[in-house]
Amino acid sequence: MQKNQLRFVFTKRLGIIVGILLILLTIVILKFFFLQVIQHNYFQQKATNNSIKLIPIAPARGLILDRHNKILAENKLVYNLELDPTIKHDFEAIQKHLKSIAPIEDADVAQYRKITKENYYSSTVPIKSNLSQREVASFLARQYLMENITLVARLERFYPFNEYGSHVVGYINRINKEDIKELQRKKKFSLYKGTDHIGKTGVEQMFQDSIHGAPGFKKIEVDAKGRVIRTIEVQDPKHGDNLQLTIDIDLQKIAVEAFQGEKGALIAMDPNNGEILAYVSQPDFNPNLFVNGIDHKNWGRLNNDKSKPMLDRVIRGIYPPGSTLKPFIALAALENNLRKPPYTIFDPGYFTMPNGSKTFRDWKREGHGEVDLIKAIAVSCDTFFYGLGLELGIVKMNNTLRAFGFGEQTGVDMLNEKKGLLADEEWKKNNRGKRWFAGETVITAIGQGYTQVTPIQLAHATAKIAVANKYKTPHLRLNKSSPLQEYDVMSDMPRHDDLMQFIKKGMEDVTAPGGTAAFLANNHYKIAAKTGTAQVFGLKGGEYIEEDLPDHLKDHALLIAYAPANKPQLAIAIVVEHGGNGGSTAGPIAKKVFDYYLQKSQ
Amino acid sequence: MIINNLKNLGSKIDQTIFACLMVILVVGLVTLYSADHSQTNEFISQVANITLGLIGLFVMSNTKPKIIFTYTPFIFIAGLILLIWVKFFGLESNGAQRWIDIGILKFQPSELMKLAIPLTLAWFYQNNENNITVQSHVIASIILGIPFYLILTQPDLGTALMISFSAFAIIFSAGLARKFIISSSLLLLISSPFLWHSLEKYQQSRILNLLDPFQDALGAGYQTIQSLIALGSGGLIGKGWMNSTQTQLNFLPEATTDFIFAVYSEEFGFIGVLAILSVYIIFLLRLSFMTSRMQDTFSRLATLGLIVSIFSGVLVNLGMISGLLPIVGAPLPFFSYGGTSMVVSLVSIGIIMSLYSHKSLIAN
């Protein structure tokens, strides 16, 4: 290539190169225009999000008190060592490091892993909770060595009465993924910013919203390393409301202890206003185990226990009512103009179907002789009710039972209450695909057959007998300062007091000489009651000899009662699972509860 | 007499170029003042860098092209030795060995190559100007290849690319045949997968990030995102001097060096960007005009190489902060904080002024 040619090529190619540079510069300018003018708002928002942070301030959870202001659930100040779950940690190194300061067990590490895997966390997560003062001091002195571990003061839920209130008070636990879904569905998740715990059972769950409160926030400006430059705005949280229960924790303790380890449930309520004073489901558990996520060992123990300590039998235990149903069947008879005293029947110890197809035995083999409605309740005469049931028919019986609240939720302020069951022809056709037999109507009248009730339904219905028309919905939240309208709903059961008198008399005679719970008689007050024994094991022609049967096949013992009979102050329902005869097992429990409550209030 | 001498000294200075330079330097300093949060006070040391660079500019503009031509091979060899030195004894920072510490100042030999490569290639073609063949282009490529490899493996992809841009521009303008241009482009395309694998992991992730920086917002995409936020939030008129939240709150990395123009964009907006880039464009056009008036091969090719070296630096830097290019680590010439880059850039301008104002030099 020659010199001149070279110069020519150069000039041309210089033009090309400068042209390319200018085009590229134009592209860059266009890109700047796009970013700075067209997309300005988008990036403006990004810049704000970069530097302005909202830090939620969690509200303090409200206390739960009993009716006499005894604390059932409180917040205890604890010091935890916590880790940031967004960072990977070398647990062995941490354990080694803290060995002489605040030893961390393998179980603590497992628990930390479980929480960070399954639960929601708004900030740091404890690796060791509830440090002693010595541990706190020791950690503070050497804190600079462990910059990833922070000492955090937290308000931790504490249930001072441990097992005693377990089912009614319930417990809180860390928020898990299902809780988040549920909160998002209810559009309440934003209220849980900064909160790690949520009520899982009992009133902790039922009144979660009001006990929890609403978070506040702190608006801060931060730099790229997250350091706070300044606080722009602070809004204080709305702390949770305290919750006062109708429960009398002292009465509750008496009732729990009266069970002496038996399984079952007890409800004691003031029939005049529907306030529940004792709410016992046995066996129980210690709610404090759950507060920071229950550990594997305890959870396995509670969950695999055949006696189901986690089951709230008061509202979710389903039992055949046995003879405790008889007073209500008796009222059904009276309302249908049947068996009104002094009408009597003769009980030979059995009842035979009119067509002679089947014979039903009375619990007393030799029979009760001449029996009117009052005596039939007092001695729990099966024969009287067999014939009555057949004559009334299942529809009329169920109508009256429904008016007493059976087969429906009572509306007590607890979640997931069971409805029980009032079976009839249609139910059997739909659920068993079979025809209804007249014999099934007969045994329904003595509380066997398909009928199923919950302990709270029994207490509810008993209270209705005790106070007739003045009845209010059973409830757990004490209606003290602000009147709670929802409890003032009167039941739609205008019963004739004159008919109710016969039922009451029958129940009073249960504790009179000759009655099935005569031993409940005492000099201080009169108890009206009805015992029941609910068959668990179908006896096919064989004899029932209690002592010979293994525990889990023994009958359930039931008792409903109210006292004082003339001016009822307390109505109770008791189920003792596999307790055998109703009067002998459930009776003493009732006696202790009545004694404590009625004698204390006098 | 002294005044006369000073006048003479200034006579080699091109006024348009000098005016553009002063605008860019002053705006750069003003922006640096806002961006600088370091304890070392980069503002003061940048003033020193500029002073040193301007002295270099004056000296070079008054140096006869003949002398520059003569010393060119020595500059190249010195640069190569320094690059090898840095490979073994260099200071490491941010995972790259780029620095030499000679007591009072730290020095980046790769920046020197931005000056040495154009001069050396121009020198080479000048010496063979009557017989430029394919062989010449191969030798020119080798001259580029050695420092390119040393810089690439520092690793400093940005500088390696910029020196190769300027070298290619020289080889291209020295009359490389069209068929070679096409075939070598094809070769590059075919070898690109292998080049990809020769890149460091962090370099690969930076390139991938370009496609979607928000995918890895806290990792490799972080710098790009923060830079885009700075630009975008600046808007049309900017947030005002010293009011860049991205910078004041330290979200923007390397705010005084590679990302200083993002600070400027955030504080002065698109209007400010347009104004300063206009100055850069005038600067480019004036330099191109000067090149076209030059008489000899050495001057033309060296000047063209230096222009491409400087402006590919501008393009790579702006492309990087606006998300058009991956983060490769390239300062904005005359604007970013950094001693070697500033001095080398200003000296380059001094050389161009010398080559332009002395016109017919090699002729003797």
pLDDT in tens, A157-167: 999 998 999 99
Top mean-pLDDT range of A368-372, A537-541, B22-26? B22-26
| CATH 3.40.710.10 domain residues, chain A | 249-297+314-600
As a whole number, mean pLDDT of residues A348-360 equals: 88
Contacts of A314 (CB under 8 A, 6+ apart): A167, A168, A265, A266, A267, A279, A280, A281, A414, A454, A455, A456
For residue B21, is it within any domain? yes
Q: Which two tokens stand for residue A347?
A: 């009980």
**pLDDT band at A93; cut points 50, 70, 90:** confident
Given a cut of 50, whether residue A254 has pLDDT beyond it is yes
> What's the pLDDT score for residue B96?
64
Q: Which of residues 187-226 of A touch B (CB under 8 A)?
A: 221-225
Give the torsion sign (CA, A591, A592, A594, A598). Answer: positive
Handedness of CA A589, A592, A594, A597 (dihedral sign): negative
Would you call A20 an interface residue with chain B, using a CB distance cutoff of 8 Å?
no
Domain hosting B139: range is 14-210+288-357
Mean pLDDT of A20-47: 92
Q: How much is the average pLDDT of A353-366? A: 87
Lowest mean pLDDT among A543-557, A567-581, B26-40: A543-557
Disruptive mutation site among B37, B173, B298 for chain A (greatest number of A CBs within 10 Å): B173
Q: Which two tokens stand for residue A97?
A: 């490091």
Q: What is the DSSP letter of B343?
A: H
Instruction: Check residues B193 and A528 and name the one with the higher pLDDT.
Output: A528
Give the pLDDT band of residue A582 (cuts 50, 70, 90): low
Per-residue pLDDT averaged across A337-350, rounded? Answer: 89
**CA closest to B133 among chain A residues:** A1
Percent of chain A with pLDDT over 90: 41
The answer, for A18 touching chain B at a CB cutoff of 8 Å, is yes
Q: Are A593 and A337 in contact (CB under 8 A)?
A: no
Give contacts of B129 with chain A, Cβ < 8 Å.
3, 6
Average pLDDT of the residues in A252-262: 92
Contact A503, A330 (CB under 8 A): yes
Strand A149-158 relative to strand A528-534: parallel, antiparallel, unpaired? unpaired
Is there a domain that residue B176 lies in? yes
Helix and strand numbers, DSSP H then E, in chain A: 21, 21
Is residue B105 predicted with pLDDT exceeding 80?
no
Strand (E) positions, A441-589?
528-534, 556-563, 570-576
Catalytic annotation present for A100: no
Q: Per the structure block, which two tokens stand in for A601?
A: 């209030």
Q: In total, how many domains does chain B have?
A: 1
Query: Nearest to residue A343, comparing CAs of A370, A380, A383?
Result: A370
How far apart, in whole angstroms, are the C-alpha atoms of residue A226 and residue A228?
6
Q: What are phi and psi of A176, to 5 degrees?
A: -110, -175
Q: Give residue B17's pLDDT.
A: 93
DSSP annotation string for A300-350? HHHHH-TT-TTS-HHHH--B--GGGGHHHHHHHHHHTT-S-TT-EEEE-SE
- What is the tens place of the pLDDT at every residue in A506-532? 999 999 888 888 888 888 889 999 999
List A151's β-bridge partners, or say none: A81
Distance between CA A457 and CA A316 in Å, rounded?
10
Polymer length of chain B: 364
Higher pLDDT: A562 or A231? It is: A562
Residue A484's pLDDT is what? Answer: 47
> Active-site residue among A323, A491, A584, A601?
A323
For residue B35, what pLDDT is reported?
Answer: 85
Instruction: Tell whether the model's pLDDT for residue A539 goes beyond 50.
Output: no
Tell me how close the Cα of A194 comes to any Cα of chain B, in angstroms. Answer: 23
Q: Are B52 and B45 in contact (CB under 8 A)?
A: no
Residue B17 near residue B349, CB atoms below 8 Å: yes
What count of residues does chain A have? 602
User: Among B202, B247, B196, which residue's Cα sits nearest to residue B220?
Assistant: B202
**E strand intervals along A213-274:** 213-214, 216-222, 228-235, 238-239, 243-244, 264-270
Lowest mean pLDDT among A142-156, A310-324, A571-585: A142-156
**A230-244, A480-494, A541-555: the lowest-pLDDT one:** A480-494
> What is the C-alpha separation between A234 and A227, in angstroms, rounded?
17
The per-residue pLDDT for A529 is: 93
CA dist A196 and A119 (Å) reads 9
Q: DSSP character for A34?
A: I
Distance from CA of B240 to the nearest CA of A (A): 14
Which pLDDT belongs to residue B210? Answer: 60
b/e string for B304-316 if b means 16 or more Cβ within 10 A? Answer: bbbbbbbbbbbbb
Q: Chain A: nearest CA to B343, how far in angstroms?
A: 23
What confidence category does residue B215 fall into, taking pLDDT thresholds of 50, 70 and 90? low
Identify the helix (H) or strand (E) that includes residue A584.
helix A582-600
Q: In this complex, is the C-beta atom of A145 within 8 Å of any C-beta atom belonging to chain B?
A: no
Nearest CA in chain B to A35: B232
> Average pLDDT, stretch A451-469?
89
| Mean pLDDT for the stretch of residues B116-143 | 85
Percent of chain A predicted with pLDDT > 70: 92
Q: Is B277 helix (H, G, I), strand (E, B) or coil?
A: helix
Give me the architecture of the A249-297+314-600 domain, per CATH.
3-Layer(aba) Sandwich (3.40)
Highest mean pLDDT among A87-91, A132-136, A457-461, B228-232: A457-461
B29: exposed, middle or buried (C-beta count within 10 Å: 0-12, 13-18, 19+)? middle
Q: Which of A587, A550, A551 is nearest to A572 (CA)?
A: A587
**Is residue B177 in some structural domain?**
yes
As separate numbers, helices (DSSP H) first and strands (DSSP E) second, chain B gives 14, 3
Please name the member of B132, B229, B245 whose beta carbon is closest to the beta carbon of A1: B132
What's residue B290's pLDDT? 92
Q: What is the Cα–Cα distance from A447 to A457, expressed in whole angstroms?
A: 14
Tell me if A18 and B269 make a contact (CB, 8 A cut-off): no
How confident is the model over A286-343, as pLDDT tens digits? 999 888 778 778 888 888 888 889 999 999 999 999 999 999 999 999 989 888 888 9
Nearest to A74 by CA among A64, A89, A87: A64
A176 and A115 in contact (C-beta within 8 Å)? no
Residues of A in contact with B292 (CB under 8 A): 11, 14
Q: Under CATH, domain A55-244 is a member of which superfamily? A: Penicillin-binding protein 2a (Domain 2) (3.90.1310.10)
Residue of B nearest to A24 (CA): B315
Say if the Cβ atoms of B233 and A44 lie within 8 Å.
Answer: yes
List the single range of A544-553, B89-98, B237-246, B280-289 with lowest mean pLDDT: A544-553
| Average pLDDT, rounded, for chain B | 84
Please state the rounded mean pLDDT for residues B203-207: 71
Give me the pLDDT at residue A481, please.
47
State phi, psi for B25 to the nearest 5 degrees.
Answer: -65, -45
Residues 6 or more apart whose CB falls under 8 angstroms from that of B318 comprise: A28, A32, B261, B277, B324, B332
- Dist CA A145 CA A137 (whole Å): 14
Q: pLDDT tens digits, residue range A48-77?
A: 887 777 788 889 999 999 999 999 999 999
B255 is a domain residue: no
* Residue A191 vs residues A57, A195, A237: alpha-carbon distances, Å: 11, 8, 10
Q: What is the pLDDT of residue A543?
A: 42
Distance from C-alpha of B95 to C-alpha of B86, rounded to nearest angstrom: 14
Q: Are B308 and A17 an interchain contact pair (Cβ–Cβ within 8 Å)?
A: yes
> Where are the extended beta strands (E) located within chain B?
91-93, 96-102, 105-107
> pLDDT (tens digit, 9 = 90+) per residue, A428-450?
999 988 899 888 999 999 998 88
pLDDT tens digit string along B23-80?
999 999 999 998 887 666 888 889 999 999 999 999 999 988 889 999 999 999 999 9
Summarize pLDDT for A261-298 with one digit per residue, the tens.
899 999 999 998 889 999 999 999 999 988 877 877 88
pLDDT band at A483 (very low <50, low <70, confident <90, very high): very low
Other Cβ atoms closer than 10 A to B67: 12
Nearest C-alpha neighbor of A280 from the set A517, A573, A559, A600: A573
